[in-house]
């Protein structure tokens, strides 16, 4: 039998050693983690304009390529809810998960303006909402007219694989959004509706995922609110031009 003081000493030394190992590992790998997370998020933004990346496949791009696109072809802006540009911040430093917890009027929104080799400009906005089990989010690219969708990408935290998770795993779901209009002919904001049972209006509706009604409705809801937040800024842009 070991004495109580031996047990206490043993456990103290052991846990201290374990803590030391983990702390030094974390200090050593920490910068790499932050870097990886940034690249991962940047790839998610670029996924919305994957058809306009000068012919290269996003999956074939190295981390360096992603970085260079971000530093040379993307302009980052932060806007507030009344549509004014907030100076001194970059879009990638905005965490929508945190913004979602603030009161609506205080939120800040990230905006990425991407200009490709052909001179086409795309406005990539970020949206975030709720799926069935947890949060879902996405990036939507709008054409220069600020109403035609040029591409979309979605991600989620814990939707059911094969059902709700298809918003990310099945490329045909985000691909449906290309070419849809968020504003109708009369100039009213309509957003894009994910319709159960198949899209009825080809200009602003897409097919829902069968068996994943709650996630599909979540995407609809997220888009309606998320895109609307950007409308004050877009309206100001339109007035200027």
Partner 1 sequence: MAEVMQESQPEVKVKEPLFGKAERKLLSDPINDNNPITVQILGVCSALAVTTLVYPSIIMAIAVIFVTAFSNLFTSMLRSTIPKSVRMIVQLVIIATLVTIVEQVLKAVNFPVYKQLSVFIGLIITNCIVMGRLEAFAMANKPWRSFLDGIGNGVGYGLILIIVAVFREVFGKGSLLAGSPLEMKIIGASDLYWVNTSTNPWFGWYMNNNMMVLSVAAMFILGILIWVQRSRNPKLIDIS
Sites of contact with partner 1 (CB under 8 A): 1-2, 6-7, 10-11, 14-15, 18, 21-22, 25-26, 29, 32-33, 36-37, 39-40, 158, 160-162, 211
Nearer to partner 1, 29 or 97 (CB): 29
Nearer to partner 1, 13 or 86 (CB): 13
Nearer to partner 1, 22 or 85 (CB): 22
Nearer to partner 1, 143 or 175 (CB): 175
- For 23, half-sphere exposure in the C-beta direction (CA atoms, 13 angstrom radius) is 6
Other CB atoms within 10 A of residue 12 CB: 10
Cβ 14 to partner 1, closest distance in Å? Answer: 6
Cβ 2 to partner 1, closest distance in Å? Answer: 4
Tokens of 177: 């959004």
Measured distance CA(163)–CA(223) in Å, rounded: 19
Nearer to partner 1, 1 or 118 (CB): 1
Cβ 6 to partner 1, closest distance in Å? Answer: 6
Please report, for residues 138, 150, 154, 158, 190, the alpha-carbon distance to residue 211 in angstroms, rounded to integers and kept in the order given.
Answer: 21, 27, 18, 16, 25
């Amino acid at each position: 039998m070991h004495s109580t003081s031996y047990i206490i000493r043993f456990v103290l030394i052991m846990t201290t050693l374990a803590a030391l190992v983990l702390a030094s590992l974390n200090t050593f790998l920490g910068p790499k983690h932050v870097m990886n997370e940034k690249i991962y998020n940047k790839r998610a933004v670029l996924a919305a304009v994957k058809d306009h990346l000068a012919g290269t496949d996003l999956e074939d791009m190295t981390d360096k390529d992603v970085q260079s696109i971000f530093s040379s072809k993307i302009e980052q802006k932060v806007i507030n809810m009344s549509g004014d540009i907030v100076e001194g911040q970059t879009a990638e430093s905005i965490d929508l998960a945190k913004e979602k917890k603030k009161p609506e009027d205080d939120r800040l929104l990230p905006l990425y303006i991407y200009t490709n080799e052909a001179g086409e400009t795309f406005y990539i906005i970020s949206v975030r909402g709720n799926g069935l089990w947890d949060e879902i989010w996405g990036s939507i690219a709008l054409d220069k007219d600020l109403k035609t969708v040029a591409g979309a990408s979605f991600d989620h935290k814990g939707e059911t694989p094969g059902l709700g998770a298809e918003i990310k795993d099945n490329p045909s779901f985000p691909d449906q959004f290309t070419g849809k209009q968020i504003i109708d002919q009369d100039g009213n904001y309509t957003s894009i509706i994910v319709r159960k049972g198949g899209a009825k209006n080809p200009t602003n509706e897409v097919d829902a995922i069968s068996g994943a009604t709650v996630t599909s409705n979540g995407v609809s809801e997220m888009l309606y609110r998320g895109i609307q937040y950007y409308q004050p800024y877009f309206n100001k842009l339109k007035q200027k031009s």
